[in-house]
Structure 1
């Protein structure tokens, strides 16, 4: 005959391991996807808008035969895309 305390202890241990596994490896979640989408969006928007402001200021302070604003907007998009690419790779590795 088995000890009932041992059975209860085993059941608690199984449940604790299951809860820890769920916490350590959460499944895909719509909210997590929305959060990732938002983070990627901001990763592109912030450098682009920053480049626009810096470019506008440089156009007034140091005018050139090219537009600093357009050049730095494009640079901001490139930097933002690289940051977003890093986020996408990181999220892909986590799953």
Structure 2
């Protein structure tokens, strides 16, 4: 009976030690406000840059065409939105 009690006490002790280690690790891994701000900023850039690049490239191609045209500009903006959305999805999934 005493041996059984010692085994339970030892199991409880080991469990408490494991939980304490997990809590210390969680505290260590917690993101700071600065890290979260940088992450959100990165998400924004990853989304906005393809849209802006598509707009500028489309505008340049449309200026090369004769007459008034916005076909390339609108098409490449839409493509930039799709590419930006995929980039954000892949970054969040990591």
Q: TM-score range by the shorter chain?
A: 0.5 to 0.7
Q: TM-score, normalised by structure 1?
A: 0.62
Of Structure 1 and Structure 2, the greater helix share is in: 2
Consecutive aligned runs of 4 or more in structure 1 exceeding 3 Å deviation: 62-66
- Which of 31, 34, 42 in structure 1 is aligned with 2:34? 31
- Which entry has the higher C-alpha Rg, 1 or 2? 2
Matched-pair contact (CA < 8 Å) for 2:59–2:70: no
How many residue pairs match? The answer is 69
Q: TM-score, normalised by structure 2?
A: 0.63
Q: Which structure has more RCO (C-alpha within 8 Å, separation ≥ 6)? A: 1
Question: Which ranges in structure 1 are unaligned for 5 or more consecutive residues?
Answer: 1-17, 91-95
CA root-mean-square deviation: 2.3
